């Protein structure tokens, strides 16, 4: 059986920059969800940057009818997200990282909301990689350098780790 997955990132709900550009991110998000529904997507993977803290409740309510997984980006706040999302949450670690397995794949979700990957995540990741399945890693920041202004200004710290 083939699963249909929608991977979406960087919607920046209620942030001032998109508003100043005349962009209504909530309307755009509703359009995306309508498209996902029409295509009978099985799972939504959100790659980070939900937006302002105040938008988190609305964002997660909009996804109530979907099977979702998320990784946090540099515009996300662990303390806010865990109010609405519990998969992979270890409140003691103050980071959201976890894995999910299917018959053939292991999906690993890392938290780069701090702009880097903590040593705890690196140690955990090393253990997670010892499996005889295909591995897919989801992380907000590119691991490899990308020749772009955004990556020059907001690149993942300590990439070589």
Please indicate, yes or no, if residue 104 is contained in any of the structural domains.
yes
Please indicate, yes or no, if residue 159 is contained in any of the structural domains.
no
Please indicate, yes or no, if residue 161 is contained in any of the structural domains.
no
CA 8 to CA 17: how far, in whole Å? 19
* Residue 113: CATH number of its domain: 3.60.21.10
Taking the CA atoms of 37, 39, 45 and 51 in sequence, report the sign of the dihedral they define: negative
pLDDT exceeds 90 at position 61: yes
Q: Nearest 5°: CA angle at 87, between 86 and 92?
A: 65
Q: What is the pLDDT of residues 73-89, one digit of tens each?
A: 999 999 999 999 988 77
Q: Are 24 and 63 in contact (CB under 8 A)?
A: no
Please indicate, yes or no, if residue 11 is contained in any of the structural domains.
yes
In sequence order, the 6+-apart residues with CB closer than 8 A to the CB of 111 are: 71, 72, 78, 95, 96, 97, 117, 118, 121
Q: What is the pLDDT of residues 137-150, one digit of tens each?
A: 999 998 888 999 88
CA 29 to CA 107: how far, in whole Å? 24
For a pLDDT cut of 70, what percent of the chain falls above it?
99
Please indicate, yes or no, if residue 160 is contained in any of the structural domains.
no
pLDDT exceeds 70 at position 136: yes
Range of the domain at 48: 5-154
pLDDT-derived band at 99 (thresholds 50, 70, 90) equals very high
- Answer yes or no: pTM beyond 0.85: yes
| CA nearest neighbour of 96 among 118, 68, 72, 129 | 72
Please indicate, yes or no, if residue 129 is contained in any of the structural domains.
yes
Six-digit token string for 48: 């980070």
Please tell me the total count of domains within the chain.
1
Q: What is the pLDDT of residues 43-60, one digit of tens each?
A: 999 999 999 999 999 999
């Amino acid at each position: 059986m083939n699963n249909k997955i929608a991977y979406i990132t960087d919607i920046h709900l209620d942030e001032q920059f998109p508003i100043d550009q005349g962009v209504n991110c909530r309307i755009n998000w509703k359009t995306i969800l309508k498209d996902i529904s029409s295509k009978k997507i099985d799972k939504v993977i959100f790659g980070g940057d939900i937006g302002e803290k105040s938008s988190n409740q609305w964002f997660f309510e909009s996804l109530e009818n979907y099977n979702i997984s998320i990784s946090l980006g540099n515009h996300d706040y662990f303390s806010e997200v865990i109010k609405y999302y519990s998969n992979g949450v270890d409140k003691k670690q103050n980071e959201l990282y976890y894995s999910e397995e299917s018959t053939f794949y292991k999906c690993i979700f890392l938290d780069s909301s701090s702009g880097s990957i903590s040593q705890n995540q690196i140690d955990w990741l090393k253990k997670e990689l010892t499996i005889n399945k295909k591995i897919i890693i989801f992380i907000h920041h590119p691991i490899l350098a990308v020749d772009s202004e955004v990556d020059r200004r907001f690149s993942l710290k300590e990439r070589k780790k």
